[in-house]
Structure 1
Amino acid sequence: MGTHNHHHDYNFSEQYTFAGTAKIVSLVAIVLGVAAIAYGLYTGDTMRTFANLLLMGYYFACVCAAGAFFVALQLVTQSGWSAGLLRIPQAMASVLPIASIILLIIAAGGIYTHTLYHHWTDPDLFDPNSPKYDALVAGKAAFLNIPGFFIRQILFMGCYSIFAFILAKLSYKEDLEGGLNTYKQGFKLSAIFLVIFGFTTPIWSFDTIMSLEAHWFSTMFGWYNFAAMWVSGISVITVILILLKKGGYMAWVNENHLHDLGKLMFGFSIFWTYVWFAQFMLIWYSNIPEETVYFYKRWEPEYKPWFWLSIVINFLAPLLLLVDRDAKRKQNMMLFVAILLLCGHWLDYYIMIMPGTVETDRGFGLLEIGTAIGFAGLFTFLVMNKISKHALAPKHHPFLDESLNHQI
């Protein structure tokens, strides 16, 4: 096989035009989402509405953070295969500051309305003279307090957002200047970012999701959340890439690149399952009451079908559909599995959040679907708008040639 450089066969200055059907559909989805949230609040279903807002706000922030993680990881590992498709995760990373602000507003609203984090935000829980006094929660007061919660949220998400924004900015600057200067800057920043991200994402998930059920704790929960975030991020990159290719863009990305994304989706779905099983198995085996209560809630009739469906979608589907080499090289199959995994991890977050918040009304219907559609529309609008602002290829990326000649 020759290593002929196809550099001149492609238009690296091509730009995506975000208009027409794609733009209209995303805007309609946002309107539907706003209507669903307004309906939830109007009917007095405040707790369920805020639980859904937290679910989608967290999912939105996680996917954008995964975009930043993807970009940083490619820089630090000096990966060449991904150079041609970096504009997609860069756009996701650029939207992280907006996603972070939305998540902060939702958390603040949830605390203010006593619909979220009510297991530890009530001052009476910490007062030994109060009938509501809870020794277990009071023992966690150094961590579980409102100022600490917001300081950590602002620090973590602010830090991720700054790095994400700068990394994307450097790549766009590279298009104008060429040379290795911006690449080297990106490499150093990515190394710092990955260390910070690696140590703080578990704490971020402890705060945002695990503290909804303040009695329960699991040291594996952070990595479980990281695995879900990473699989979801890879799935979103895959969906956007395939849809752009179907629209006639990014001709320099081929089935070899798709194959690599497929391997990441497949491998980390197995990793997610490994962490899921390890957490479940250890808690089942030890049979300690304050630990088993978490799964006991999820085995109630309202949640048990979703609990098992989550495993079927997030483990069995990628295992059976992507184990074959050829499947990872087919656009339609990859698109199907990526969308299926995005729905599966929505269900995964649903199971993480709902049993600990919506304790009285355990509905599943228009509010859940409408909120999800609204956030999907918002994500699409912001990310595709960002993608349309720059050329689809990082034309001066030092490893672009390697990406063009990538073969598996």
Structure 2
Amino acid sequence: MYTFSNRLKIASIVLMIVGALGIIGGFVMAPGTIAEAKEMVASHDEGHGDAHGAEAEHAVKENDHAVADSHGEEHNSSHDQHLLDQLKNRPWSALYVAAFFFMMIALGVLAFYAIQRAAQAGWSPLLFRVMEAITAYLVPGGIIVFVILLLSVLHMNHLFIWMDADVVAHDHLLQGKSGYLNPTFFLIRAAIFLAGWIGYREYSRRLSLAQDESDDNANFKLNFRISAAFLVFYLISESIMSWDWIMSVEPHWFSTLFGWYIFASMFVSGITVIAMVTIYLKSKGLLPDVNDSHIHDLAKFMFGISIFWTYLWFSQFMLIWYSNIPEEVTYYV
């Protein structure tokens, strides 16, 4: 059994402390008032040189004049508030991206694990314990992401503009999506997804451990059945999750391929982490029955899904280009 060395434990604790201080620092340095936000933007423009600063200043002045002429002081105030909200979002968005990324690694590994169980693959059982260990992060990672989503619903941040009633009131497109994009339904969906993913992980892990002590293959058969059922749930929930948690950050842009984008990213990242952990454990003298063929199989999956990821992104971008629909470029920008 692998145990963490004291040196690795200390290094992990130090990195967690540094990360926590970084998060706290990001929130502390975020502007608290409109005046602070304007000062921050002004200092940022000055730091980019005179030419760039002059250009930015000219653009800002032109925009201010246009705003003043068309909408008056009320719109100017709204613009200033939007600037403040955007700058206050920075530490939230950094935290959210990191929380989402690492949770998706665990979820990608869980999907790979379920596929191996449902396919009854002969090469991968030696790696099941590695996969189960990585997916253990799904519980704390899922809680962190859910808390951020909950705080968004409580208007502690402005990551999702469709949660702002004032914005929706002046946006016909968001009004048309309000039956789906509403805070209560949003949180209910998130809770269902997390419960399903974590529930499968915990139950499958329990059956996996029980199989080691069993004299028959009843646990193996049950694990096969629930893994096949979970994959159906996963395909549906993962697609909806990608629309909810990422695509709805920019609700005016949408893609029917977006669920596949997220899937390909998490899948290849998860498989890569499986390979890295396996190679590390092999270097410590563990997993003696895992050989080069197992690593080679993981590498083939990594290569194949990387090509699939590239195919999705390039194909859609090429579609946007030759159809000349620049409004679709929002996400890429």
Fold-level similarity (TM above 0.5): yes
Q: What is the one-letter code of the residue matched to 2:165? A: P
Q: Map 1:62-81; keep pairs closer than 5 Å.
A: 62-81=104-123
1:48 to 65, 86, 90: 90
Gaps of 5+ in 1: 1-14, 128-132, 299-408
Residue 109 of structure 1: how far off its partner (Å): 2.5
Q: Map 1:6-405; keep pairs closer than 5 Å.
A: 15-44=1-30, 46-111=88-153, 112-117=155-160, 119-127=161-169, 133-295=170-332, 298=333
Query: Residues 204-257 of structure 1: CA distance to partner in whole angstroms, max 9, x if unpaired?
Result: 011000000011000111101100000000011011111111111111101000
Residue 289 of structure 1: how far off its partner (Å): 4.8
Query: Residues 251-306 of structure 1: CA distance to partner in whole angstroms, max 9, x if unpaired?
Result: 110100000000000000000001111221222233335423333xx2xxxxxxxx
Q: In 1, Cα distance between the equivalents of 2:322 and 2:152?
A: 34
Q: Greater helix share, 1 or 2? A: 2
Q: In 1, Cα distance between the equivalents of 2:168 and 2:158?
A: 19
Q: In 1, Cα distance between the equivalents of 2:140 and 2:331?
A: 32
Q: In 2, Cα distance between the equivalents of 1:26 and 1:163?
A: 28
Large movers: runs of 4+ above 4 Å: none
Q: In 2, Cα distance between the equivalents of 1:105 and 1:96?
A: 14
- The DSSP-based 3-state class of the residue aligned with 2:331 is helix
Query: Residues 34-85 of structure 1: CA distance to partner in whole angstroms, max 9, x if unpaired?
Result: 1100000111264111111111111122111112112211111110101111
Q: How many residues align?
A: 276
Q: In 2, Cα distance between the equivalents of 1:109 and 1:175?
A: 42
1:151–1:290 Cα change, 3 Å? farther
Q: In 1, Cα distance between the equivalents of 2:18 and 2:151?
A: 21
- The DSSP-based 3-state class of the residue aligned with 1:120 is helix
Residue 32 of structure 1: how far off its partner (Å): 1.1
Residue 188 of structure 1: how far off its partner (Å): 0.7
Q: In 1, Cα distance between the equivalents of 2:139 and 2:331?
A: 32
Normalised by the length of structure 2, the TM-score is 0.80
Residue 122 of structure 1: how far off its partner (Å): 1.0
2:33 corresponds to which residue?
none
Q: In 2, Cα distance between the equivalents of 1:95 and 1:292?
A: 34
Superposition RMSD in Å: 1.4
Q: What is the one-letter code of the residue matched to 1:114? A: N
Q: What is the one-letter code of the residue matched to 2:287? A: M
Q: In 1, Cα distance between the equivalents of 2:215 and 2:327?
A: 57
Residue 183 of structure 1: how far off its partner (Å): 0.5
Q: Contact between 1:50 and 1:110, CA under 8 Å: does it hold in 2?
A: no
1:212–1:231 Cα change, 3 Å? same
Residue 146 of structure 1: how far off its partner (Å): 0.7
- The DSSP-based 3-state class of the residue aligned with 2:104 is helix
1:309 corresponds to which residue?
none
Q: Contact between 2:320 and 2:326, CA under 8 Å: does it hold in 1?
A: no
Q: In 1, Cα distance between the equivalents of 2:262 and 2:324?
A: 23
Bigger Rg, structure 1 or 2: 2
Q: Contact between 1:93 and 1:168, CA under 8 Å: does it hold in 2?
A: no
